[in-house]
Structure 1
Amino acid sequence: MTHPSPLVRRLRDLADAVPAILLATMFLCFIVQVFMRYVINSPVGWTVEVCVIAWLWILLWGQSVSAEEGDEIRFDIVYGSVRPETRRWFRMIFSVLLVGIYAWSLPALWDFVTFMKIQETAYLDIGFNWVYSIALVFSVVSILRYLWIFRNALTGRDTGLSTAEEIGLEEFSE
């Protein structure tokens, strides 16, 4: 197994920091909202807006950019009970299906995101095209991720981690 270069590791660390920073921002906004509502008795709405936008970005950024295939939680009764060669075929088939779905929906998603520039958020006046631009990142990165999974499955380079034994959790599978 090759080790990533220092640049790749640094970029990975930065990508992983984005959801953490957004979660910290959500927490600070929550504290500000509680303070303003219950101490100052003057609630503010922008904190809710920041929390909703941050949550959307955490979910889509985290799943597409930060998460790795081994991080995903799956209900894999069928997948875990078949031979490794069959699992490889499953990964190839599902990769093709997911790439097809994301690629097919990408033009409509682009139209939606670019159309949303006509509307802004209520408190912060951020264009909704910026708010929803993360959906484009999610789709493009997901397409690239599943093309990579397909390539690795096709060439036999991946392990297809899913069973407890393969990821070192054999003591939990008894």
Structure 2
Amino acid sequence: MVHWLGRRAEDVLSALLVAMFVAFLLQIVTRYVLNAPLSWTAEFSTLCWVWGILWGAGLVLRDEEEIRFDVIYGAMKPAVKRVADAVTGTAVVAIFTWSLPAVVDYVTFMKVEKTAYLGLRFDLVFSVYVIFAIAQIVRHALIVWRSVTGRSVTGRGLARGA
């Protein structure tokens, strides 16, 4: 089931990239070929980019694809790596968990504002950050659990069947 959900998360990310690319091409054609620019395409592309980055980082990115200081991390012994993973994972879980109520409060507050051209409510636009934050809490809690129990930390990501 987790693997199937991971594939659907990848599908959503792919659709966002395609939509962004099509809007970008439409913007170029209408601006430079037809000399009749569309204002909404830039906003749409930006929204797809923001959603794609946060959706992808939260639900599609695998643990081994995350940015790390590989020179330092790679030189560590396995036991030290486990301690480092437990400490950093605990910090990430604590920070995201601590900030989550304020994030949800801010996102729900933004329902009063709308985007300039598409008229989308900003709470819907920013809701992807709540998804990202929850995914980071779950992902790093699993990393902590794996490091404490001695299981391999460089396994599959949240979306790929952790």
SS of the residue 2:35 aligns to:
coil
**Alpha-carbon distance in 1 for matches of 2:153, 2:125:** 36
Q: Give TM-score scaled by structure 2 length.
A: 0.91
Letter in 1 for 2:119: D
Residue number among 16, 19, 36 corresponding to 1:42 in the alignment: 36
The corresponding residue for 1:164 is none
Q: Following TM superposition, by how much is the alpha carbon of 1:9 offset from its aligned partner in structure 2, in angstroms?
A: 2.7
The corresponding residue for 1:119 is 113
Q: CA 1:15–1:140 in structure 2 vs 1: closer, same or farther (change >3 Å)? A: same
* 2:143/2:153 contact within 8 Å kept: no
Residue number among 140, 146, 155 corresponding to 2:149 in the alignment: 155
Higher helix share: 2
SS of the residue 1:110 aligns to:
helix
Within 5 Å, which residues of 2 pair with 1:100-115? 100-115=94-109
Higher relative contact order (CA 8 A, sep 6+): 2
Within 5 Å, which residues of 2 pair with 1:27-106? 27-106=21-100
Q: Following TM superposition, by how much is the alpha carbon of 1:159 offset from its aligned partner in structure 2, in angstroms?
A: 4.4
Tell me the matched-pair count: 155
**Alpha-carbon distance in 1 for matches of 2:98, 2:3:** 32
RMSD: 1.2
Q: Following TM superposition, by how much is the alpha carbon of 1:11 offset from its aligned partner in structure 2, in angstroms?
A: 1.6
CA deviations 1:67-92 (Å, max 9, x no partner) are 11012232222211121000000000
Stretches of structure 2 lacking an aligned partner (at least 5 in a row) = 156-162
Stretches of structure 1 lacking an aligned partner (at least 5 in a row) = 1-6, 162-174
Identity %: 38
Q: Work out which of the two has the higher radius of gyration on C-alpha atoms and give 1 or 2.
A: 1
* 1:60/1:134 contact within 8 Å kept: yes
**Alpha-carbon distance in 2 for matches of 1:54, 1:123:** 14
